[in-house]
Amino acid sequence: MNNEWNQDYVRQTCVLAERETQFIVPRAYLLEGFAELNASSRGIDLHRLAVNDAIQIHTDNSEYRIVLLDPADLRVEVQGGSFFANPTEATIRGATVGGAMLKIGWISVGLQIELVYYPAGNQMQSVVTSPVKKLSLECARQ
């Protein structure tokens, strides 16, 4: 493989010698691309919110309402989408593009939300939403 690289916001590729396998990886899935995406995205750090603050979220496919139960532990009550017809207790892991990279405790425009809940007692279920299009914060009255 030679050292010619073509970089843009969407993907990073390289020119390969004959018979080498080529893998195209979206730039956001690489550490540098994920860091750039996080730096440029608007979002909310859940750790900075108060109990009973609520976030209204519109993703590509669904709408959600999240109410903070314990910001320190990222524990929330979530309703919306196909998994949460009724208010359900869950834990927000953070903002992601999918895969292993995660901005812990954040919800960001352009990124997906990763959360976990326990639908059957001690059986954990992980859910990743479609990318967030819009979010709004409703502060609880003190």
**Within this chain, do residues 109 and 124 fall inside the same structural domain, yes or no?**
yes
Residue 114 to residue 103: CA distance in whole angstroms: 10
**Within this chain, do residues 13 and 65 fall inside the same structural domain, yes or no?**
no
**Within this chain, do residues 53 and 109 fall inside the same structural domain, yes or no?**
yes
**Within this chain, do residues 83 and 17 fall inside the same structural domain, yes or no?**
no
- Calculate the average pLDDT of the chain: 82
Residue 119 has pLDDT above 50, yes or no: yes
pLDDT level of residue 121 (50, 70, 90 thresholds): confident
Q: What is the pLDDT of residues 32-87, one digit of tens each?
A: 666 666 666 688 999 999 999 999 999 999 999 999 999 999 999 999 999 999 99
**Within this chain, do residues 87 and 54 fall inside the same structural domain, yes or no?**
yes
Residues spanned by the domain of 103: 43-138
Residue 8 has pLDDT above 50, yes or no: no
Residue 105 to residue 115: CA distance in whole angstroms: 10
**Within this chain, do residues 85 and 30 fall inside the same structural domain, yes or no?**
no
Asked if residues 66 and 55 have their Cβ atoms less than 8 Å apart, the reply is: yes
**Within this chain, do residues 78 and 125 fall inside the same structural domain, yes or no?**
yes
Task: Write down the pTM of the prediction.
Answer: 0.74
Residue 44 to residue 49: CA distance in whole angstroms: 9
**Within this chain, do residues 49 and 31 fall inside the same structural domain, yes or no?**
no
